[in-house]
Structure 1
Amino acid sequence: MTNQPWTTGRWTHAPLAATPDGDDLVVTAAEGSDAWRRTSYGFVHDSEHALVAPFAVGTAVEVTFTADLPEQFDQAGVFVAVDEETWVKAGLERSDGRLQLGAVVTHGWSDWSVAPVDDWSGRRVTVRVSRSDDALIVRAGIDDAARQFVRVTPLDGARPAEAGPYLCAPTRAGLAVRFHAWRVTAADSGLH
């Protein structure tokens, strides 16, 4: 497992601030930042703050952060970028008064799946995305607990991709997320 320095990679869209604090990075999102394409809402938002680096087949990206997401649609986790119409965001999002674990997968149009994890609020959460020849596998968990399966979605191994930590604040100013780690390791060997 390799710890990625916070100076690795590039921002898809620069945040308002990204401040090192010991081993952590505290990132402040711009109000209105989000990633979504078309489905149901009819709009395209392409303003997420994702710190991404190359994401090779056979590797996994893990991001650990504190789940302090108190307002509607506050979100943080792992972002996988292929192109402007092909990307995945996986992690936590505050929706309808609940902390939700889920993913948005976009191939031209976005989808969205969530499940409530209210007891994760204020805890250290790790989101892990593994890349194989034809898929991404998303898992997540709190503290040192085993990571639970969240999603499997197709991604052609021949397509270059980048991945790393992300956050968005679609509805408000002032969201700051404390990221504790960004790691690269071997991909999970199987789905189950």
Structure 2
Amino acid sequence: MVPWNDGYVLGWSDGTWLNPPAEARTEGAELVVTTRDRTDFWRTTGYGFVRDDGHALLTGLSAGSAVEVTFLADLDTLYDQAGVMVRVDAENWIKAGVEMTDGAPHVGAVATRGVSDWSMAPVPEWAGRAVTVRAARSGDAVTVRARAAGEPWRMIRLTPLDPGAKAAAGPFCCSPQRAGLQIRFTRFAVGPADRQLHG
């Protein structure tokens, strides 16, 4: 893992909203985001619908770089979610973070190349804690890692990304079953991609 001595924290105004939320306000160095009603990112698989109206604050993600987002969230409704999005276009994107499902928070990722696939694992011990998600772009892949405050990194996903694609990345959130999910984003940073797959 790169220690990120060369990384730097972005200002919230350094990103551009894809689908602006109901509200986004700064409180000191933090950004508090409130979702619109029934927002999501998904393409077809298993559910038969396409949704592309979730909220994401995106900045450029060049080859050899990574993005980290830290957030606090009270996820209590089915499919409430927040984390990091890496996006090329409406049919090619990755979202990774924490999502409420089966009555508990789960860490996971959705990788979409025309259609979506979803992997996840329960993390009930992460409820109410600050979570950081890192998406690192290197070669033909994006490596996603996540951790709760004070814990070691967990590898969440290794998924392909065209090395020539123009991509953007940053914090995302959505609430497919309701309006009014509130996410407190505390950090948005970019830096060099991890030098190797395994630490």
TM-score bracket, normalised by the shorter chain, equals over 0.9
Structure 1 position 133, deviation (Å): 1.5
2:12 aligned counterpart, secondary structure: coil
The residue type paired with residue 10 of structure 2 is Q
Within a 5 Å distance, the mapping from 1:89-100 to structure 2 comes to 89-100=95-106
What percent of counterpart residues are identical? 50
Q: Is the 8 A contact 1:137 1:191 kept in 2?
A: yes
Is 2:187 the partner of 1:184? no
Partner of 1:43: 49
Is 2:72 the partner of 1:66? yes
TM-score when scaled to structure 1? 0.98
Partner of 1:144: 150
Match of 1:33 among 39, 45, 56: 39
Q: Is the 8 A contact 2:73 2:182 kept in 1?
A: no
Runs of at least 4 residues off by over 4 Å: none
Is 2:177 the partner of 1:167? no
Partner of 1:114: 120
CA distance in 1: counterparts of 2:28 and 2:83, whole angstroms: 20
Structure 1 position 67, deviation (Å): 3.5
Match of 1:105 among 99, 111, 130: 111
CA distance in 2: counterparts of 1:37 and 1:163, whole angstroms: 19
CA distance in 1: counterparts of 2:128 and 2:74, whole angstroms: 5
Partner of 2:58: 52
CA distance in 2: counterparts of 1:134 and 1:99, whole angstroms: 30
- 1:127-152 deviation digits (Å, cap 9, x = unpaired): 00000010000000011322110010
The residue type paired with residue 148 of structure 1 is R
Q: Is the 8 A contact 2:85 2:96 kept in 1?
A: yes
Is 2:164 the partner of 1:158? yes
- 1:38-85 deviation digits (Å, cap 9, x = unpaired): 001100001010000100111110000014211110000000110110
CA distance in 1: counterparts of 2:72 and 2:15, whole angstroms: 22
CA distance in 1: counterparts of 2:76 and 2:61, whole angstroms: 30
- 1:101-133 deviation digits (Å, cap 9, x = unpaired): 000000000000000000000000000000001
The residue type paired with residue 90 of structure 1 is A
Partner of 1:76: 82
Figure out how many residues of one structure are paired with residues of the other and give that number. 192
Q: Is the 8 A contact 2:146 2:156 kept in 1?
A: yes
Q: Is the 8 A contact 1:104 1:111 kept in 2?
A: yes
Structure 1 unaligned runs (5+)?
none
Is 2:6 the partner of 1:16? no
CA distance in 1: counterparts of 2:147 and 2:28, whole angstroms: 23
